[in-house]
Amino acid sequence: MMHAGDVHLRPISEAELEQTRAWANDPELRRLILRVGEVTCADQQRWFERLQTDASRQVYAVIEAGQHVGNTGFYHWDKVHGRAEFWILLGHGSSRGRGLGGVVLRLMLAHGFNTLKLNKIFLHVGEDNLPALRLYEKFGFRRESLLREHYQIEDASVNVLGLSLLRSEYNGEK
């Protein structure tokens, strides 16, 4: 388990699946997390079952003051090339806009670079998700790609930016 103050990251459990599914299906969040289509109970269960056997994925529940407020993790963890894709979802509206994302990102960067010994952490974010872009850039992530009209979400084209942070650029004090 990772923690900073009253924020704890622990492996996601079956108890968090329904809340996680509700966030994935929230119309406000769907575009921010680049989610296409509704997640059914069966979809959610299959996702969780795959997590149990897929060593390239690590998913953590974000717990703040004892409440499950989001999820985060790494996908596509490649030990050969030392890279993984970071993602975060703060589901509760009250958890956004007050610095929690920075706390979670700081914990995950330390975990990725120090524990997993990654050389590169990368991510994809919608071009119009300005709060997320500001957060990532504050932590030193650099833009390295633009995927034009990469998703069709709610009948709208969404451009996606690829960002990355290398171990040599990482400053654990942010």
Element (H, E) at 72: strand 67-78
Instruction: State residue 174's pLDDT score.
Output: 53
pLDDT, tens digit, for every residue of 114-154?
A: 999 999 999 999 999 999 999 999 999 999 999 999 988 77
pLDDT, tens digit, for every residue of 95-110?
A: 787 899 999 999 999 9
The CATH class of 2-123 is alpha beta
Share of the chain above pLDDT 90, in %: 78
